[in-house]
């Protein structure tokens, strides 16, 4: 596999390697290699396939829609696009009622940031110091978890906000717990000192996924919204991985009662197919339109992915997958807590619904936790479980666990058992 990749493909994952084996097909919560191995997929593809792989209703929609209407000139509209815009707005609180549809999360964040700059007449952007919003220009400049070294100067006016990580608090109160209010105040004091008076927007994930599955403390999002309002900034929430029932509610921001000025969706909206969205209020959309908002792309508002999005909404609603994610998430988190009691190398279990992080705190003999995490990941693959580990400097390794919302209890239990065996095997090897 490595020889094939070296010969024919551009390697695009930094220093990461391609996963072993060639995938021939996928179904439900599993992928199958050419040599006949079944691998349980606890990443839902790229954190996207919330309905599992090759869901029969998605397959049917693709076949029917592709045979009728797949792609149009970007200025033309189709019934699937109009229907999806209306139906998505019905799942959201007011005043989020205007939508546009794109292909990827980076693209939707790019459009949201461009809209925010145009509407506010400003250019400075704030995001978390462990953020991931994409690899296109504005999205990459708002991304701090990886990909900044070696590409020349970043765009001026991008500022990093400290992450309110309760598991690794950097500013603490008298009890030693994270003092996120003081941290947030200090973060904006530093931003204000650096700003040239042109703060346009703050873009954040309600749960930092690539940043280590960090759930924002309750109350933080409301306080952040207030900081934005004080400065005339727009609040953009990136729910690429948390939106559409993944966390046990339709949108992660619902827990906090905070409605963003602009919401971006991707990954989960297409359930594994390329579909992203930007949603905002009629007022912001009108202001953007009046100022000539331009985001003309080849696949904006294409009918084929929009038809898939409508089917995703059908299945999520009919099968109550928000409730399903909550129930399966409790089963998954409970099993991971049991593993933490069995394996002292596990330092923390956190997350919401079916987006759960399991953090390794140290290697089995106090050695390099990154090497240990990589070894556990490899052993999981060998035993038939695909896992993804986030390795950030000084943080150890955090498994980012996100099975499909359609997974069965037996599949959750099987994944937990394989992870248990993998950790045990790697510890024995040490």
Can you read off the two tokens belonging to residue 194? 């650096």
CB atoms closer than 10 angstroms to residue 36: 7
For the question of residue 241 being annotated catalytic, the response is yes
Helices 220-230 and 180-194, axial angle in degrees (round to 10)? 30
| Region class of 212: left (phi > 0), else alpha (psi between -120 and 50), else beta | left
Annotated catalytic residue within 41, 205, 261, 348: 205
Annotated catalytic residue within 132, 183, 239, 302: 132
* Cα gap 19→9, rounded to integer Å: 14
For the question of residue 205 being annotated catalytic, the response is yes
Measured torsion, CA atoms of residues 368, 372, 373, 375, in degrees rounded to the nearest 10: 140
CB 251 within 8 A of CB 226: no
Annotated catalytic residue within 238, 239, 285, 348: 238
For the question of residue 180 being annotated catalytic, the response is no
Beta pairing class for 23-27 and 30-33: antiparallel
Instruction: Supply the Cα-derived Rg of the chain in whole angstroms.
Output: 21
Annotated catalytic residue within 130, 246, 352, 400: 400
Residue ranges in 143-209 assigned as alpha helix (H): 180-194
* Cα gap 385→395, rounded to integer Å: 23
Annotated catalytic residue within 241, 250, 350, 359: 241
Annotated catalytic residue within 227, 246, 267, 324: 267
For the question of residue 124 being annotated catalytic, the response is no
Tell me the three state secondary structure of residue 365. coil
C-alpha distance from residue 245 to each of 312, 327, 329 (Å): 11, 12, 11
CB 270 within 8 A of CB 50: no
Residues acting as catalytic residues: 132, 205, 238, 241, 267, 400
């Amino acid at each position: 596999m490595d020889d094939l990749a070296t010969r024919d493909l551009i390697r695009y994952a930094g220093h990461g390697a391609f996963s072993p084996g060639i995938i021939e097909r996928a179904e439900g919560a599993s992928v199958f290699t050419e040599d006949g191995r079944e691998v349980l997929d606890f990443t839902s593809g790229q954190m996207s396939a919330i309905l599992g792989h090759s869901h029969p209703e998605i397959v049917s929609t693709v076949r029917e829609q592709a045979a009728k209407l797949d792609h149009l000139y970007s200025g033309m509209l189709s019934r699937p696009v109009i229907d999806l815009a209306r139906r998505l707005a019905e799942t959201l609180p007011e005043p989020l009622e205007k939508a546009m549809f794109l292909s990827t999360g980076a693209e939707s964040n790019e459009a949201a940031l461009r809209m925010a700059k145009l509407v506010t007449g400003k250019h400075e952007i704030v995001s978390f110091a462990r953020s991931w919003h994409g690899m296109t220009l504005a999205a990459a400049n708002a991304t701090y978890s990886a990909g900044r070294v070696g590409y020349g100067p970043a765009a001026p006016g991008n500022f990093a906000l400290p992450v309110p990580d309760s598991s690794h608090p950097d500013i603490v109160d008298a009890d030693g717990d994270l003092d996120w209010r003081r941290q947030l105040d200090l973060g904006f004091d530093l931003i204000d000192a650096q700003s040239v008076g042109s703060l346009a927007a703050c873009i954040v994930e309600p749960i930092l996924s690539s940043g280590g599955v960090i759930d924002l403390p309750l109350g933080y999002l409301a306080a952040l919204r207030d900081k934005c309002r004080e400065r005339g900034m727009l609040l953009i929430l990136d729910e690429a991985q948390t939106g559409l029932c993944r966390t046990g509610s339709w949108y992660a921001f619902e827990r906090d009662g905070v409605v963003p000025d602009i919401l971006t969706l991707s990954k989960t909206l297409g359930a594994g197919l390329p579909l992203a969205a930007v949603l905002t209020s009629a007022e912001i959309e009108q202001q953007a339109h009046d100022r000539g908002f331009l985001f003309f792309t080849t696949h904006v508002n294409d009918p084929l992915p929009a038809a898939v999005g409508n089917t995703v909404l059908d299945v999520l609603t009919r099968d109550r997958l928000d409730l399903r994610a909550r129930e399966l998430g409790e089963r998954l988190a409970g099993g991971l807590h049991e593993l933490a009691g069995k394996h002292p190398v596990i330092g923390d279990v956190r997350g919401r619904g079916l987006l759960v992080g399991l953090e390794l705190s140290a290697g089995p003999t106090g050695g390099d936790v990154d090497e240990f995490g990589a070894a556990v990941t490899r052993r999981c693959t060998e035993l038939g479980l695909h896992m993804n580990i986030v390795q950030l400097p000084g943080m150890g390794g955090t498994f980012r666990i996100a099975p499909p919302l359609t997974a069965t209890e037996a599949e959750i239990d099987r994944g937990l058992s394989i992870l248990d065996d993998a950790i045990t095997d790697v510890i024995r090897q040490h």
